[in-house]
Each structure stands twice: as C-alpha cells, then as structure tokens.
C-alpha cells in the first residue's frame, strides 16, 4: 500500500498460498474483501466477509491464505474510492 493505492493492484497466486499486504504509507489503510459501487458521487462499500484487516499503520502487515481458486476483490475501508485490488487464485 503506497500513495493511497495498492501496488500492484492485482496479484496472482496458487490455491493454498498466502498473500501479504505491507502498509508503507503514513496514516492508516485496511484490506477488506468485497467490492465498491458508485452511485453518482457516493461510494458504497460492499464487504463480503471473507477477510478483513484491522486499521494498518505504517510498517504493519496483513496476510491471508487463499484455499480455493477464484478472484477475490478487496478495498480499503478508509479510501474505498481510490484503493481497490484483487487476488487471482489459480489451482
């Protein structure tokens, strides 16, 4: 996480592997599974409950092991308009 965005925005891993997010910005960010929708100028958060970090300060990390293949979108609850990404999990 850097400059109010996930870098890279999409990653590919295999089922059973762990993804690790490292917070390198000043301030706080989260990693929350789900999507965001836009309704005019409003951003609507749609968490799906698969995974969610606490608020991460600079230097902290969050990890999650993906056991099933699929595409898992995520966003930052603090910056949902600009911080979205996805983990693509292959077999």
Cβ neighbourhood burial of 70 (10 Å; 0-12, 13-18, 19+): exposed
HSE toward the beta carbon, residue 67, CA cutoff 13 A? 2
> 33, 52 in Cβ contact below 8 A?
yes
What are the mean pLDDT values of the chain's consecutive 10-residue runs (91 residues total)? 84 97 94 95 96 97 98 97 96 92
pTM of this structure: 0.93
Q: What is the pLDDT of residue 87?
A: 98
59: its two tokens: 């230097």
Q: What is the pLDDT of residue 41?
A: 87
């Amino acid at each position: 996480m850097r400059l109010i965005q996930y870098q890279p925005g999409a990653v590919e891993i295999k089922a059973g592997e762990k993804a690790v997010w490292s917070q390198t910005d000043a301030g706080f960010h989260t990693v929350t599974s789900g999507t965001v929708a836009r309704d005019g100028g409003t951003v609507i958060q749609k968490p799906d409950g698969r995974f969610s970090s606490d608020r991460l300060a600079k230097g902290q990390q969050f990890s999650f092991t993906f056991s099933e293949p699929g595409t898992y979108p995520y966003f930052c609850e603090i910056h949902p308009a600009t911080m979205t990404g996805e983990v693509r999990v292959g077999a």
